[in-house]
Amino acid sequence: MAEGASQDLLLAAAFVSDAQYNRNIPFRTSPEAVRLYYLYNHWIMRTVTYFFIFLNLSLAVFEEPAVYPLPFLVTSLIEVLCLLVFFGRLTHFAKVTLRNVFWKDTKNICIMVAILLSLTDLAIYGVLRMYNMRSIRWSRIVRPIFLINFAESRQIRRAFRSIRNTLPEITYVFLLFMFSLLMFSLMALKLFGERNLQTAEGLPYFKNYLEIVFDLYVLVTTANSPDVMMPAFDFSSWYALFFIAFVIVNTYIFMSLFLAVVYNNYKKHLKNEIRKLAYMKHRKMIEAFNLLKEEEGAQFVVREARWKQLVKLVAPDISNSHRELLLCISDNEQKGFIDKKSFVQLADLLNIQVITLKIRSHPLGQWMPRVYKSAVSRFLRSMVRHRGFVWTYDVIILINAIFIALDEETPYISYAEWVFLALYIIEILLKVYTYEPRAFFGKNQFWNWFDTLIIFAALTATVLNTTLKSTTKYNSQQILDIVFILRVLRLIRIVDSIQRFRVIMNTLINIVPTMLTFGGLTLVVYCVFAIIGMELFHGKIQFFPASSNVPHALECGNPALKDSLFARGKYCKNNFNNFASSFIVLMELTVVNQWHDILCGGRSRLEPAKLYFIAFHIVMVIIIVNIFVSFILEAFFVEYSLEKSEVETAIEQKIQELGMGVQEDELQQEQLLDNMESAEHDLEGEGGTKPQSKGLVFKIASKRYRTVDALLQRMFEAEIPLEDEGPSFDEILNLSPTAAVPSNLTLENTA
Amino acid sequence: MAEGASQDLLLAAAFVSDAQYNRNIPFRTSPEAVRLYYLYNHWIMRTVTYFFIFLNLSLAVFEEPAVYPLPFLVTSLIEVLCLLVFFGRLTHFAKVTLRNVFWKDTKNICIMVAILLSLTDLAIYGVLRMYNMRSIRWSRIVRPIFLINFAESRQIRRAFRSIRNTLPEITYVFLLFMFSLLMFSLMALKLFGERNLQTAEGLPYFKNYLEIVFDLYVLVTTANSPDVMMPAFDFSSWYALFFIAFVIVNTYIFMSLFLAVVYNNYKKHLKNEIRKLAYMKHRKMIEAFNLLKEEEGAQFVVREARWKQLVKLVAPDISNSHRELLLCISDNEQKGFIDKKSFVQLADLLNIQVITLKIRSHPLGQWMPRVYKSAVSRFLRSMVRHRGFVWTYDVIILINAIFIALDEETPYISYAEWVFLALYIIEILLKVYTYEPRAFFGKNQFWNWFDTLIIFAALTATVLNTTLKSTTKYNSQQILDIVFILRVLRLIRIVDSIQRFRVIMNTLINIVPTMLTFGGLTLVVYCVFAIIGMELFHGKIQFFPASSNVPHALECGNPALKDSLFARGKYCKNNFNNFASSFIVLMELTVVNQWHDILCGGRSRLEPAKLYFIAFHIVMVIIIVNIFVSFILEAFFVEYSLEKSEVETAIEQKIQELGMGVQEDELQQEQLLDNMESAEHDLEGEGGTKPQSKGLVFKIASKRYRTVDALLQRMFEAEIPLEDEGPSFDEILNLSPTAAVPSNLTLENTA
């Protein structure tokens, strides 16, 4: 029975951790499957999967057309290895989940098809290559599928779903926009077509309908803004009205309309997703409860001992005191058991970062108490804690900024650099001396970490550079560049000294994790377009260094480009000759400006180039950039409007009740540490009687380190009553143990 | 006493109409002041004021540097005339409002100061001119103040207040943005400054710190996107990373941040404004009630007769039946009097457009009933009402589009134009024949009006053109242009045939009135910058037609511009030589692209040009365009989310109860008219017994013709309980008659 209990516990823990991280894997309940489930979610396994996904994607750098060429045999072996890993991961997943769920899930089918396609293509290409026949490695487009479809990439998948749901609405707006574009083009043809005007390059102006449509499409992106207007404007000032009307209608109104549609759908969709997630989370928690419940009077409960075992299993790395705190909150009345309602909250409670601050004396205070507590040392520490210390260093940073801007060559200034470095190092040492080192380098002390890393990296690089210079009389360019960048980055710290800036910076830091999702999204789109672009435009344009003597070097190796704007702007390096260049060209196209000129590179021989560039513009600028903007807008609105959620307040209340709290308004690091220090003094002086004598205080991790996703989830959870959809909350609470396996499988796809 | 009553009635009517149009003028209650108040708000007076405001603004076109030069005497006389009108209007306003309110209002002070400044400047300039000394007409910058500060321009003022309230927050973000810009510039200086790189034009690259800051500022607007990167990118591909980081941080994140801040503040501010407006409206209505109330049992009420007199005074142009309907709603139980609560709603009720549809037979049916009711005529009318009729004309429009795109010169095609014109005219005639003409050309039949106007304008222009051609063998270019544009505009109608497009179009049409506010805002900013720009850069650049033989014609008359990108792009006509050109240059700067090139025109001699352009960019692009985008976003979200407000539903219920309603889902014009027609048949056949026998039905003006402002007001009114601020609603209801004059004068400034 003890064996069975531990098995139940393992299973329950799996449910809870599934709920905690919103994984929503419908795993089997057999002991073996649960063990496999733990293995599947182990961080090493996930890291390995990601490593191989990115290895697979980065193969494009080494395959022809390559940035760093590797033999075909090597790249194909690596690709086969990657595919094997993916297959293994998929098999593992199949063993964990229920069979019928596995085969109904399009994600898994996608991965399998992608593996098969890649292998087939690789085989065909290999065979053809042996017979010296060149073919296209078309399966390379398929590679981003692995990034999207592995269960770990929940966020990217969510973004894709968001896009898919927005498509119908955006299509209507897009059609209307195209209609407007076609109408304006028709007007332009009628108005300017027979005037025999010429562009600045002497080409006929607005003669051909399709070219007008394209030119005006470019004007929507404002990329050819005055140029396209000038010939008509020179002819008659009144024609400017046509272009003004065009820009107002298409650039301002329609582009805002796209943003409005995308933002509206993004928000709507997000709400739905989070509603479903919350539903799944409750469901899993109830299942865990049903596994562990025992009868107590009229109701079912979970006893304290089992609850503790469960938490130890789910979150092995939280401290004992943290666990006690959670127990205090869950078992509010200290009855020795936890009821259903409190138990369901556990997943949320575990997600709240509570920082355990052990009040312990400084290590130096323990090792050499006499020196550390001497008058000089006390004065030093109080000095460091003083506001003036921060201000002094702000002034030093400003002076440093001026020195950086001055010329490097003057010897005094390069010596000054050493002085500044020394000052910064002294600052860090003083702070570590004053505050407890483990608190100073705490998990959430972003700026302390930032400072220390920057300073020591700069120190290392500067020393390295000086050594190199004195031994080889030669500045290493790479190291110097890094030194420069590090030096300037140091200045960022001054922002953190000003309260208003700090608020904005915190939001920006909060956004970073979710921005990585968009990084992933962009990566997928860029990969696909880069691979297509390389197939279409490879070798059309060559770049030669300025010293080259190759004929047509100025025309990018393509005589057709002679005297074009493209060659004149020295854009030769904007080409699709390898993966890295393609990425940079696509980046330039995303930024939109001059894209019609960059396009010239492709256009010189191929008309499809226009279609390629317009397709990229629609996907990247109209859809993805707008979603990105929507996301930033939403994140800021949430930051502006969100009050603390209920669950969090409950924890805080408990902390305060237990007398272990640190006031929210003392969140600033210095004050916090001051507070600790004074608590320490209390202990020293009076041998405190309060719970502080336990030697620890708790603090909710401050707002600045919450992720946007968590914020959103809390925001919408408050807004959407769970009863709206599916079984009511009470029904879920009374779910029978036989239904422990989710029967509502359609929900799974949403996770 | 009858005299006194009519005086009370006049005053009460003034209060109600003040509430209805949200004017919030704290007028005096003396009989004379009330009469002056009516005069002040008469549409002729307001139109005249606007006319002189725009006349005053447009003087810049005729003053040196002039588009159409007029003698100084003429322009100065016109200006004096304008100032006199403004002064008269202000005096009138002073007579209407309370004295202490008048002198506390900054609007009025502003106008007075502006008038004084303009007169002084005019006098000084005139005197100096007599002695042939040239001075600057600096007071011209003051002119937009009249547009902003006259009481009529409530919307523009609100937008300005919105901007002012956003400024503090946006300043912080802007400072952070500038900090980031300066940091990146410093890095760029260190990284690229000593590489001795050259730009495409052979200039030194990233050598001077201030120039780097400027170049990177331009990069934020993406205007010099690949160009600024190319030299570093050519040197080493890795440097592209620097620019990518820069664009992500500054262009994408910070620009979104600006939008987020502006949007958030815009919304917050709007809510406050509308809360205050609603409060003022209730207050005025209570005052009107207190003037008219009579005792009835335990409560005060307004009797039906007085109420009718009041409505007649406030809205003299609504029909008797409409007034009866309003009475039915207000006096729900037909008690012969209206209580306080219903009375307060009157202002909102009057604002709801109820369309009175008189069911009357077609005039032709009355004049020649036999012909109109013959079988042929009936068949014709049923044909026109058939869906196929609409489809047929959609096909005709598509064919027409193809013909327009084809070459004009072929004789068959120019004949085809006549055919199409004839077809369209037949369509309109058939529709007028089938539907009642007064219904067809109803107030809210936007598309019918649009069609008819376009077709008849095209007909007139085409006939005119043909006449000219046959008599003088000469095509008038202006007329031809108009014909072309009208022809293409005709095609828009096809959009209205597709349901999904119609929804989007309706929102766009709804937005138009409020967009005019932004037009006003833009006009103000443009005027100020154009006048400053003309003083700074006038004559720096000359434009010569292509055929000109003047030396330096290709360099825009400025040898310093030889071989510059500016001259090469043929941008000579982008100059500040007169008011019209300045506007177009500013428009190009708003669109942002190539603005650094346009700037070259100024830069050639003056460094302040950079500051001028950056200031314009901050004001126009960062603030005003973002507010414009916020506004469009908000308008669409409101459209997406708004259900019908309560007041409106009350009216609709009443209409339905009375059996005079037309179902909301029969809103489409054809169906509506069908419905009328069938009602007509009923009458003919049975001599109906229902209220339809009154011969009229009502219809709430469909959603598509509501203004965004009204929507917003209803949305926020539902959200914000009035009790939140100021006296509670009950308190307002019980306001004593002695407090009939608003005592809370601070609120006035918000209107």
As beta bridge partners, residue B355 has B699
Indicate the pLDDT class of residue B658, thresholds 50, 70 and 90: low
Whether omega before A65 lies within 30 degrees of 0, making that bond cis, reads yes
Q: Which residues in chain B have Cβ-Cβ distances shorter than 8 Å to A173?
A: 504
- Maximum average pLDDT range among A538-552, B513-527, B713-727: B513-527
Burial class (CB in 10 A: 0-12, 13-18, 19+), B503: middle
* pLDDT, greater one: A12 or A714: A12
B519 touches chain A (CB under 8 A): no
A485 touches chain B (CB under 8 A): yes
Check A488 against B633: CB less than 8 A apart.
no
Question: Residue B117 half-sphere exposure, CB side, CA atoms within 13 Å?
Answer: 15
Token pair in block for residue A531: 């691979």
Indicate the pLDDT class of residue B86, thresholds 50, 70 and 90: very high
Whether omega before A231 lies within 30 degrees of 0, making that bond cis, reads no
Query: Which DSSP letter does residue A407 get?
Result: -
* Predicted pLDDT of residue B261: 86
Residue A33 neighbours by CB distance under 10 Å = 17
A408 touches chain B (CB under 8 A): yes
Do A572 and A541 touch, CB atoms closer than 8 A? yes
Indicate the pLDDT class of residue A79, thresholds 50, 70 and 90: very high
Cα three-residue angle B672-B459-B461, rounded to 5 degrees: 135
Q: Which residues in chain B have Cβ-Cβ distances shorter than 8 Å to A188?
A: none
Nearest CA in chain A to B263: A633
The pLDDT of residue B218 is above 70: yes
Nearest CA in chain A to B573: A234
Average pLDDT over residues B70-74: 88
* Predicted pLDDT of residue A563: 65
Indicate the pLDDT class of residue B200, thresholds 50, 70 and 90: confident
B668 touches chain A (CB under 8 A): no
Contacts of A660 (CB under 8 A, 6+ apart): A325, A691, A692, A694, A696, A697, A698
Which of A223, A408, A491 has the CB atom closest to B183's CB atom?
Answer: A491
Tell which B residues from 152 to 181 touch A, by Cβ distance under 8 Å. 172-173, 175-176, 179
**What is the percent of chain B where pLDDT is above 70?**
76
pLDDT in tens, A690-706: 334 344 566 665 554 45
Tell which B residues from 236 to 265 touch A, by Cβ distance under 8 Å. 237, 240, 244, 247, 251-253, 256-257, 259-261, 263-264
pLDDT in tens, B300-313: 888 888 888 888 88
Work out the minimum CA distance from A76 to partner chain B, whole angstroms.
Answer: 27
Average pLDDT over residues B520-537: 86
Work out the minimum CA distance from B200 to partner chain A, whole angstroms.
Answer: 6
pLDDT in tens, A162-175: 888 888 888 888 99
B642 touches chain A (CB under 8 A): no
The pLDDT of residue B67 is above 50: yes
Which of B240, B260, B489 has the CB atom closest to A632's CB atom?
Answer: B260
Q: Which residues in chain A have Cβ-Cβ distances shorter than 8 Å to B582?
A: none
Burial class (CB in 10 A: 0-12, 13-18, 19+), B203: exposed
pLDDT in tens, A615-658: 888 888 888 888 888 888 887 777 766 544 555 566 666 666 66
Check B591 against A251: CB less than 8 A apart.
yes
Contacts of B111 (CB under 8 A, 6+ apart): B86, B90, B145, B146, B149, B150
Check B189 against A405: CB less than 8 A apart.
yes
Task: Count Cβ neighbours within 10 Å for each residue of A702-713 and write b for 16 or more, e otherwise.
Answer: bbbebebbbbbb
* Predicted pLDDT of residue B567: 66
Which of A266, A488, A565, A620 has the highest number of chain B CBs within 10 A, making it the mutation to test binding with B?
A488
Indicate the pLDDT class of residue A471, thresholds 50, 70 and 90: confident
Separation between Cα atoms, residue B732 and residue B726, nearest integer Å? 9
* Predicted pLDDT of residue A711: 62
**What is the percent of chain B where pLDDT is above 90?**
6
Mean pLDDT of chain B: 76
Nearest CA in chain A to B486: A187
The pLDDT of residue B154 is above 80: no
Which of B594, B597, B599, B625 has the highest number of chain A CBs within 10 A, making it the mutation to test binding with A?
B594
The pLDDT of residue A74 is above 50: yes
pLDDT in tens, A501-525: 877 787 777 777 777 778 888 888 8
**How would you classify residue B24: left for phi > 0, otherwise alpha for psi between -120 and 50, otherwise beta?**
left
- Using DSSP bridges, classify how beta strands A354-358 and A337-339 pair: parallel, antiparallel or unpaired: unpaired
Burial class (CB in 10 A: 0-12, 13-18, 19+), B134: exposed
Cα three-residue angle A182-A187-A191, rounded to 5 degrees: 150
* Predicted pLDDT of residue A569: 66
The pLDDT of residue A52 is above 80: yes
* Predicted pLDDT of residue B269: 82
Nearest CA in chain B to A636: B260
A544 touches chain B (CB under 8 A): no
Token pair in block for residue A28: 């089997």
The pLDDT of residue A713 is above 70: no
Work out the minimum CA distance from A636 to partner chain B, whole angstroms.
Answer: 7
* Predicted pLDDT of residue B554: 65
Average pLDDT over residues B129-141: 83
pLDDT in tens, B668-710: 444 444 444 444 443 333 333 333 334 456 666 555 445 555 6
Nearest CA in chain B to A209: B405
Nearest CA in chain A to B187: A485
Nearest CA in chain B to A260: B633
Indicate the pLDDT class of residue B117, thresholds 50, 70 and 90: very high
Nearest CA in chain B to A263: B633
Check B571 against A190: CB less than 8 A apart.
no
Mean pLDDT of chain A: 76
The pLDDT of residue A304 is above 80: yes
Separation between Cα atoms, residue B12 and residue B33, nearest integer Å? 13
Indicate the pLDDT class of residue A739, thresholds 50, 70 and 90: very low
Which of B264, B484, B588 has the CB atom closest to A187's CB atom?
Answer: B484
φ/ψ (deg, to 5) at A208? -105, 130
Which of A169, A218, A252 has the highest number of chain B CBs within 10 A, making it the mutation to test binding with B?
A252
A547 touches chain B (CB under 8 A): no
DSSP codes joined into one string, A682-723: HHHHH---SGGGGSEEEEEPPGGG--HHHHHHHHHHHHS-GG
Token pair in block for residue B114: 């502006």
Indicate the pLDDT class of residue A602, thresholds 50, 70 and 90: very low
